């Protein structure tokens, strides 16, 4: 980047920083004043409701020891991806 572009970026950042600081001295806009007033009001206390987990019966030893009937995985021979390429 040229020196002119760097100088322009530096001055632009400086101007943005200065205008951001100077904006706090102005009076807030109406929407900001209303929002600040709503935030300043105390919040009503919410009723606390404790939820309990549903009770679940324990599994019997016979049900816990039984293995599920599923099909096993069969590993089929396959060639690696690089094996199909032509070698020169």
**pLDDT value at position 63?**
82
**pLDDT value at position 55?**
84
Tell whether the torsion through CA atoms of 8, 11, 16 and 17 is positive or negative: positive
Give the other-Cβ count within 10 Å of 37's Cβ: 9
**pLDDT value at position 70?**
74
- Residue 74: both structure tokens together: 């069969």
Q: Which residue has the higher pLDDT, 23 or 78?
A: 78
Whole-model pTM?
0.25
Domain boundaries, the chain: 1-40
Q: What is the pLDDT of residues 16-40, one digit of tens each?
A: 888 776 555 566 566 666 666 665 5
Report, as an integer, the average pLDDT of 68-80: 75
Q: What percent of the chain has pLDDT over 90?
A: 1
Report, as an integer, the average pLDDT of 60-78: 78
Report the C-alpha gap between 48 and 78 in whole angstroms. Answer: 60
């Amino acid at each position: 980047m040229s020196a002119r572009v760097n100088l322009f970026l530096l001055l632009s950042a400086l101007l943005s920083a200065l205008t951001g600081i100077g904006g706090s001295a102005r009076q807030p806009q109406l929407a900001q004043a209303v929002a600040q007033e709503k935030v300043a009001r105390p919040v009503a206390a919410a009723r606390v409701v404790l939820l309990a987990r549903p009770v679940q019966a324990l599994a019997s030893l016979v049900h816990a020891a039984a293995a599920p009937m599923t099909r096993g995985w069969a590993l089929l021979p396959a060639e690696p991806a690089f094996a199909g390429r032509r070698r020169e």
